[in-house]
Every structure is written in structure tokens, then in C-alpha cells.
Structure 1
């Protein structure tokens, strides 16, 4: 991946400092001059975090980094303590300037580009699609996420603080960092090729479509449950009953209209409405009692379930403890450490009580666990039925409450009108008939909802079938990629070559490197040494060896990326590769490492930019004809005039 740092411009309170960045930039000199701050500010502009040194705390204002990418130069400016960066790219009138998040993603910022943060912009300017990886490595249907440019930069920037303490987070206790680092190595070694990435993108799209449809199904099903119907026949049956009741009321109204005056009703609507309201009150009270009883039963069964689950856990713990402690010979009390007295043969040596003989064997324990599980499932099913009953009872109560309020409203209206018994009765029946017809019409309009639900469920089934098919293809593609160990073996060979050329003590060209695909932590095996003797980052006792070990692996990763065309940013910043190494006592390692860097830059890694920071400087041989920028840096001495040749990062700063 073309990724060339052009310049870094730093704004301080009293000055602005420009730092050109060449094909090889070598910053060296005394501590306290700001060498490490250069690397950290470059990383800061690329979205990293930073701990400001005392000098930067006092003087730093902002940093601007210019990066040359495939689509052209990109300017990235980030102010102090800012979570956003100001970016600019394009030529003159067509130049685009925008403020985007340095790391967070809150939706697409530039329509049609997929750019949500700085990482996306760097990929877009490199004409690359951000690779997608699964969030969960154990769930087959896990959604995917984009691999961030920040993750790739772990293998492009070796920070002084972590250069000898962490192996690119592959050994991290933080699972998120470790898995992200694993994804980077898989990406570079070809386990995330274009075919796999395309399949993962399709699978993620299908999964998103399925989840959205399931949410829609659940919402629609909830509406139907609230209404009290869940199928089309139920709706038609209820509509039919409501219309029949309305027709019966209409016939009764017609009979009353056609009857003679003496035959017409003499019962006032107020009396009927009062009786109806009283009956509804009784039914509502009964439902309240029923709901209370079901809630009480649900709480009782829930407590019972929790007790069974707790006892099951305690039983398993007890059995495990007995199994562990059964073979322990106690000579002193585990609580007070006093010597235990002699006990009878059949008594516990610690508490002195008789040993329990009826210890269940594995078969009995399995049967017991099965019974516990079965009882738990029964209780869960009972609780689910309680929940369904509560929903049904509350729905009925709500319907009765609505009806009761309507009846009371009509009763109040009838009481206020002083109509005749006949007129009030007819008005009441007309209202009741109208309400039933309206309810029937509303339910009839919902008859198509179950059809929509069935259609959506069928679509979900079809999507699940597509997902299963794609997962099968993805599994086959991953297995095929992982079976091809060519790139992993090549990485191991390149890594060993870097170690040998750097003259790391104890490692020779006759050694072999193994890189397990489950961890990608390289292991070095020497001929003639026992199989259980392994040289790895974790087993190296020397801080100097750890540093060279990590630096060589980073160089090997860039060599492999160049060889196979993997999209790893073409720059490598190494801050203090000789952090724990004396340039005088370990001259072979000092010269060997830098000669390796220079030789690779002149050949294999000609397109890779190097930024090197160290205490001492060693120049490449003239025959290599390399473009190198060297800057010797020293902290300011208040007693001496400023020397521009050795000026610190902040030229005017005289603090510590």
C-alpha cells in the first residue's frame, strides 16, 4: 500500500517547526531532545492517542502531517486534545477540506464514499475497501466489522514504550486487541483474500436484512397479540361474531320500531346501563383477583426455579471440591495451620466426623443433573404459561375497562337527557350497534397482517437458507486459505533471515521458525535441542533480544506484504531498536540490524519508508546509494548558544 509520509509541521506557542520526512529519516542523539515525540506526533495525526511530555504540555498547539497516498497527497491536522482531524485533499479549486473523527464512527460523512472516520478516509485515498472481519470468532452468524487502519499501523509503528513488552498485542490479555492483531496477520498473509472478504460482506448484508425483518415480524406479532388475535381465521371468527351481534341488535331495533306503542319497551336505558356497569365491575374485579393469583403463582415458581439452579451450582461445586481434595493428605489444619490430631481410620482427618460412604458415582451424578435440568425446563415452561396467562387476563381486563368506561359515559348522557324509556333504549342500542360495527371493521382491516407475517417468515427462512449456503462457502474458502501455508512459511523464513542478519545471539540459519495459525506467535527451534525448548518473545530473558525479535518480525511482515502485494501501509517507524542494547558492547547487533535495514531498503523494500529513532547513528555504505535524512538532536543548554545543527524538537524551549 502506497503510504509515504512527506512532512510533519508542528505548531508551538512561540514557533512553528517543519520536519521533512525522507525515504529514510534517522533521528538520533541525546535523550530529552524530542526524538520520540516526533514518532508519537506522527501517530497522533494518524488517529493515535498521545501522552504529552512536559515540554509538549507547555508548548504544543497542533500538528499537521502530509501523507502521499494512491489518490494523491492528504493533509491531516490535529489540534491538542482534539478528537477530530481537519483533512484536505485534491488540487486547487477541486480541493476538499473536512473535519472528521480521528477514530469514532458516527455515520457516513461524505455521501457515496463510506467514509465515517480517518481510517476510512485513508483506505479510500488508497483506493481500498476496508477489510471486514467477524466480531466473534466462535459464532458462525456473528456480524462483521471493519478492520481499522489503526490496527494495521500496529505493525508499522513500534513505540519505544511497548517495543520490548508486547508482541503486537498478539500476547495481550485484552481479547479485543489480540483478536484484532490476529486479523491483521491473517489479512497480510492472505487468509482474508478478496473472495473471503466478498463472502463475508454478502453474509453481513444478509444477516442485517434478516435481523431487520425479524424485528418487523416481532413488532407486527406484538400488535396482533395486543389485539388478542394471532391468525387470520381468528380475526374472521371475531369479525363474524361482532357482525352477528350487531345484526341481532339491528333486528331488535326494527322490532321495537314496528311494534305498537303498548308493546314498546318501558325499561329506561339508564336502568340497563346501570346493571351493565355493575356486571362489568364484577367481571373486572374477578379478573383482578385472577391476575393476582397468577402473579403469585409465577413468583412462587420463579423462586423455586432459582433455588433449584442455586442448589445445582452448589452441588457441582461441592462435588468438584471433594474430587480435588479427596487425594490431599492434610497434616495441619487448613484454617489455623496447627498439626491435626490422630483420627480413626473411617473419620475425616480434618473435622473428625465419620466419612460419608454414599458418594454418588458418575452415572448417578449424570442422572441427578439430568433430573435437575428436566425440572428446570418444566418450571421454565410453567413460568412461560403464567406469562401468557397474565398477558391474556390483562388484555381482557383492558377490553372490559374500555367497555365499562363507554357504558358509564352513556349512562351519564342518558341521565342528563331525561328521554323516554323507548327513546333512551333505542339510542343506547344504536350506539352499541355502531360500536360493534366499528370494532368489526377495524379487525377486518387487520386480516392482511397475518398474511404479511407469513410472507415475512417465509422470506426469513429463505434468507437463512442463503446464509447457511454462504457460511458453507466461507468455511470452505477459509479452510482452503489456511491449508495453503505458503505465505506463513515464507513469513517464518523472512523472519529468521532478519534475525540472522541482525546477528541476534543464539539464533543461526540452521534454526527453524514455526508460526502457529491460532496465535501467530513465532517460535524458533534449534536442531539437536529438546523439542520442549522453544525460543519465543515470551521466553527471551533479555530486553535487547526482545526488542530485536519484535523489530525483525515487523520487517519480515513488510517484506511479505511487498512480496505478495498485501495492503500493509508502506512505512515503518521504529523508535529505539537499540533501547536495551549498548552500541559499543554489542557492536555486531547494532551494525547488523541497521545494515539489514539499509540493504533491504536498497532492494526488497525500496518502496517502504523508514523512520528510525535511536541513541547513536550508523550510516549506510556508499555503494547502496540511499536517500537518507539524518538529524542529530540535543536538548538546549542555557549556558550555550543554540546550534541549529543539533537543535531539539522545540528550538526555544529550555525546560526539562
Structure 2
């Protein structure tokens, strides 16, 4: 049972870091990431969202510290692409490679602008995603009830809101921008578009078929021009280029072995040379040690000489103080001569500013400093003698080192020189072959680009055929919004009954908001956070299920962050405490309800995989019960622990030097 709903499958996420790269591989069906809080679980979904065109990335400290750029290998309607984006410059162009991550160096990247503010070299990233998924690129009315309402473009980001519920969306009253009236209106138009119930849907499909046919014609013309150019320039065929590449690889590998052989020969000379090398190394170590000693002693000498000057200055000051005291105390007149400058001074005026000291104390201090100065002079002399000895040893060791090096050079010329010339020739030849290889690889990229144009033509033919089939279905039986809401309401009811919730009545999708109603109460009026969590999970799952059974524009993928929010599985916060009474009334502290979420998704997913209907469910959660850990181990793609634990990674950024993310 294959449907024409678009298929977006995540194959691999890579965060390229400064010292290493961090990988997460995904499969079709269920993918589970779980572990302790603050270990980088949410950052994985955040990076995927960013690589699918989100305007910003929540820059966790560890990503900012260790990361450089990120890559996402995706399958868009069964064609593999690799998306590469700078995590520090969200305004920079997004690179797209028409191959898997391992082979991106073999093709030229296509550069798309990240938003509609400007046009990239080959277009806009949102348009690329929509076109690759064969989803019409349209504009919708900003205010549908007004005839003169301006038109706004519907982007891939508008669609993806219904595919990704982050930890702020799950169980939140403000789900899907409920606080922003203008976005609420656009989201409703997006909802209609996803389910092919827009009034203009048939016209949109007709226009898109015309656009695809025009694009196909342009691709055919471009292919013809490039093929003619390559024919005129007599560029080798792809097969011939691959043959030349293999030959060059073989020659380069042979020369590499030859170079290594010559290098080994140069190293394997006689024992005498090895002894000389040891002598040279020992002398160099000894000289370096002596130089270090010399530097240290010179620093000590300089410091002590500086200290000696300071001692001498202190002695001079104290002697001057003593002289001044004696000069003044000897006079009994009111007018005295200054002992320093012979000028006349009044004794009374001097005594106002002069503090008299005990003469014995001054003399004792002078003697004390002189004794220290004497010891310091002795230490300085000793340091000078030691420096002289170090310099003598340095001179002798340098003389020995020069002799040893001269002997080694003479020996080396005899034993190594014959190999140096041969090795240089090998390196030169190897470089020449590498230059030829670079050219061959460049020509191969051109050939692959031509091949890609042919594949694009075939893809456009297939897309036009699919669009025409979808158009025929819509023309024959255009679905109504009422029918769509009834179907989604049925799926939501099935989910909530499976869990089960208490008093599971009045379950449907609102015709006004397109959001769930439970017990005849709007989703935003539900007082229990746990109940809102279950309803939001059932809602997004219902959207996925409908896309697998009907013709929609839903990309057949859902990502849910913190499945167990408000269900007693996360740390208690303010919201949890406020709503815990309501949750208890609902019986949401029963662990079976939490387990039934996973059981439902497992049964749901396996059923569609058996039918050949590919899809993807990526789940992030904190605490994970042992029963689930055992029964769902085949779905776990990453599991983290804040502490070292067997079978767990310390975090998404799992550097050995990092203790905690």
C-alpha cells in the first residue's frame, strides 16, 4: 500500500568538530534517544531542525565550544541529499550535495539562501525542500476572510511545525503559536494545504505541473548545451576517467611504498651512526639544560644586584637621617644651617615636620643592613663564579657537539646521500601524478554533474506523473475539511483509548482551531498538563497516520522532544507542581500509560513498515524504565548518562576531557 504523500527520511546527522566529529545514525520507523538531563539529547533534534531550514540554533555551550559545522544526510522522496550548514552563521548559504555524506567530495555543492530575504546562487532552501518532496510552492491569503488580503508564501518551515514538537510544545497550551494571531491564521491555512482542502488546491496543482514541465525543458536544454560542449572539447567519458583515476591511484600507491622503502633504508644505517646520533642528542640535552641553568642564574644575579642597590639606598637614607639629627640637636639657636644645602632654617619650623628617632636604633638598623649587604655581596660573587663555570661547560659541550655533528654529516653523506636523490625523484613523480589525479577528479565532477541533470530530468518526469495522478484524484473527489477533521478525530480517539485516558468522550478536531477537543473542551482549556501531553502526542501521531493513508503534503516524519513531559517522568518544576493534582485525578501517575505510548507507536509503525509505507518517528525522553529499555532496545539510536556507565555515552559531545555536557 504505497501512497503519494512526500517522504522525508533522516539517514544521518554529523556535527563536525574541531578535534572530532559526532555522529547519529537513524533508521526508518521508530528512533529513540534517551538519557539523563543536560546530556545533549534535545540538541540532536535542534540540529536536525536547523539543518532543515530553521532560522536559528540554540547554541549549547558544548556545541559552541567544540563544533564547526553540521551535515544532515536525508532521503527526499527516495533521493539522497547531504545538507551542510555553518552553525555559527545562520545567514550564510546552505550547501546541498546530491549524494550521501561519504561522497560529497565527488560532486559540486548547490548553494541555497536560508530564507526569502535574498535569492541564493541556485535559489531558496525552502523551495528546494518543497520541490524535492514534490510539494507545491504556493502563496496563501494572510487573512482568508478578506477578499483584498495580501498573499504570503507558504514555506517548508510552515509545514514542519506540524512535524516537530519540541519540549516547549509538548503538552503546552501555546502549541502551534497560539499566542500569535497572525501565525494562527497562517497555521490554519497550512493545515488545509497539508490535507489538500484549500479552495485553490486544484489550481495550485495545475500551475505546479506547468512549472515542473517548464523546469524539465530547461534541464533538457542545459543538458544538451553541456553535452555538446564536452563533446567539442573531447573530454573523456566517465568510464575512461574512472579507468585513468584507478591507474593513477595505483601509481601513487606504488610510489608511496617506494618512498617508504627508501625512508626506511635511510634510517637503517650502521651502528656507528646510531651511536653518533645518541651522542649528539645527549649533548644537545646537556646544552639545553646548561642554558636553562645559565638563564636561571643570570636572573638570580640580576635580582640580587638590584637588591644590593636598594640596600645601599636604605643605608644612605639612614645615615642622612642620623647626620640631620646630630646637626640639629647640636644647635641651641633658633636659626641653624641645613647640613645638606647650608641654607638658613628656623629650628621651630623644622621640628614641626621632623620626627626624631633614637640614635641607637638608627645605628643598629644601619649595621643590620650592612651585614645583609655583606652576605649579599658574597652571594653575588658565588653566582658569578657559578655562571663562569656554566659558561665554561657550555663552551666545551658546544665544541664536542660541533665535532660530533661534523663526523655525523660526513657519515650521513656516505650512507644517506644516495637515497636522498632517489627519494626526491620519487616524491617529484608522485606529486606530478597527484596533480593529474586532481584534474581527473575535477573532470569526473563535471561528468557527474551532467549525469545529475539526466537524473533530474527523469525525476521531474516522475514528479509530473505523480502530480497529474494527484490532480485526477482531487478533481474526481475533492476532500472536504469536515471529512479530514473527522478522520483525524477518529485517529486521535483511537490513540487516547489505547492509553487509556479517563472519561474518553467528546474527542474530535475543532473546525474552528483545527486543534483537539477532549470531553467537549478545547485543548487549551484542559487543566491537566499530563492530559495535554497525551492529547498533543495523539494529535501529531494522527497527522502522520493520515499522511500514510491519504494523499497529503505531510512529509511522513514526526519528531517529539520529551515524550514523558508532565507524566511523572521528568524533574519536578513549577508547572508540574501546579498541575500534579490534576494529573493525579487523571490517573496519569500510572506507569502503564507511559509504556502504552511506546506500545501504540510500535504497533502503529510496524504495521505501516510491513505494508512498505516508509516513515520516521524520532523520540527524545529523559528517564527510561528498565522494561522499555529492554523491549525497545532495537529502536535506541543514542543513550546518554551524565556519569560514565557501560553502554552509555557521557553525552552527545563525548570528548574524553569533558566530564559533563
TM-score by length of 2: 0.50
Question: In structure 1, how many angstroms separate the alpha carbons of the residues matched to 2:151 and 2:183?
Answer: 16
Question: In structure 2, how many angstroms separate the alpha carbons of the residues matched to 1:191 and 1:127?
Answer: 17
Q: Is 1:561 matched up with 2:555? A: no
Q: 1:484 offset after TM fit, Å?
A: 5.8
Q: 1:107 offset after TM fit, Å?
A: 3.7
Q: 1:5 offset after TM fit, Å?
A: 0.1
Question: In structure 2, how many angstroms separate the alpha carbons of the residues matched to 1:482 and 1:141?
Answer: 26
* Aligned twin of 2:193: 187
Return closer, same or farther for 1:168/1:182 CA change in 2, 3 Å cut-off.
Answer: farther
Q: Is 1:646 matched up with 2:645? A: no
Q: In 2, are the aligned partners of 1:28 and 1:631 still within 8 Å (CA)?
A: yes
* Aligned twin of 1:433: none
Q: Is 1:161 matched up with 2:168? A: yes
Q: 1:121 offset after TM fit, Å?
A: 0.7
Q: 1:13 offset after TM fit, Å?
A: 2.9
Size of the aligned set, in residue pairs, is 362
Q: Any residues of structure 2 matched to 1:113-124 within 5 Å, and which?
A: 116-124=123-131
Q: Any residues of structure 2 matched to 1:254-653 within 5 Å, and which?
A: 485-504=482-501, 506-508=502-504, 511-525=505-519, 534-583=520-569, 585-604=589-608, 606-617=613-624, 628-635=635-642, 637=643, 645-652=648-655, 653=658
Q: Any residues of structure 2 matched to 1:126-205 within 5 Å, and which?
A: 126-166=133-173, 168-169=175-176, 172-192=178-198, 194-198=201-205
Look up the SS of the partner of 1:485 in the other structure.
Answer: helix
* Aligned twin of 2:33: 27
Question: In structure 2, how many angstroms separate the alpha carbons of the residues matched to 1:201 and 1:125?
Answer: 13
| Residue number among 73, 79, 92 corresponding to 1:72 in the alignment | 79
* Aligned twin of 2:59: 52
Q: Is 1:98 matched up with 2:110? A: yes
* Aligned twin of 2:363: none
CA-to-partner distance for each residue in 1:535-586, whole Å, 9 max, x for gaps? 3321222222211111110000111122112121121111111022125943
Question: In structure 2, how many angstroms separate the alpha carbons of the residues matched to 1:484 and 1:31?
Answer: 41
Q: In 2, are the aligned partners of 1:66 and 1:75 still within 8 Å (CA)?
A: yes
Q: 1:166 offset after TM fit, Å?
A: 4.5
Q: 1:597 offset after TM fit, Å?
A: 0.6
* Aligned twin of 1:315: none
575-584 or 542-551: bigger deviation: 575-584
Q: In 2, are the aligned partners of 1:164 and 1:550 still within 8 Å (CA)?
A: yes
Look up the SS of the partner of 2:534 in the other structure.
Answer: helix
Question: In structure 1, how many angstroms separate the alpha carbons of the residues matched to 2:27 and 2:208?
Answer: 38
CA-to-partner distance for each residue in 1:366-425, whole Å, 9 max, x for gaps? xxxxxxxxxxxxxxxxxxxxxxxxxxxxxxxxxxxxxxxxxxxxxxxxxxxxxxxxxxxx
Q: 1:651 offset after TM fit, Å?
A: 0.8
Question: In structure 2, how many angstroms separate the alpha carbons of the residues matched to 1:105 and 1:90?
Answer: 28
Return closer, same or farther for 1:168/1:153 CA change in 2, 3 Å cut-off.
Answer: farther
Q: In 2, are the aligned partners of 1:132 and 1:197 still within 8 Å (CA)?
A: no
Decide which structure has greater helix share: 2
Unaligned runs of 5+ in 1: 111-115, 203-476, 526-533
Question: In structure 2, how many angstroms separate the alpha carbons of the residues matched to 1:579 and 1:601?
Answer: 22
TM-score by length of 1: 0.50
Return closer, same or farther for 1:558/1:487 CA change in 2, 3 Å cut-off.
Answer: same
Q: In 2, are the aligned partners of 1:574 and 1:612 still within 8 Å (CA)?
A: yes
Q: 1:157 offset after TM fit, Å?
A: 1.0
* Aligned twin of 1:89: 98
Return closer, same or farther for 1:550/1:632 CA change in 2, 3 Å cut-off.
Answer: same
Q: 1:197 offset after TM fit, Å?
A: 2.5
* Aligned twin of 1:327: none
User: What do you get for the CA RMSD once the two structures are aligned?
Assistant: 3.4
Question: In structure 1, how many angstroms separate the alpha carbons of the residues matched to 2:108 and 2:130?
Answer: 17
Look up the SS of the partner of 2:62 in the other structure.
Answer: helix
Return closer, same or farther for 1:634/1:108 CA change in 2, 3 Å cut-off.
Answer: closer
Q: In 1, are the aligned partners of 2:195 and 2:553 still within 8 Å (CA)?
A: no
515-524 or 147-156: bigger deviation: 515-524
Question: In structure 2, how many angstroms separate the alpha carbons of the residues matched to 1:78 and 1:524?
Answer: 42
Question: In structure 1, how many angstroms separate the alpha carbons of the residues matched to 2:183 and 2:524?
Answer: 18
Q: In 2, are the aligned partners of 1:33 and 1:649 still within 8 Å (CA)?
A: yes
Q: 1:153 offset after TM fit, Å?
A: 0.9
Q: 1:482 offset after TM fit, Å?
A: 7.8
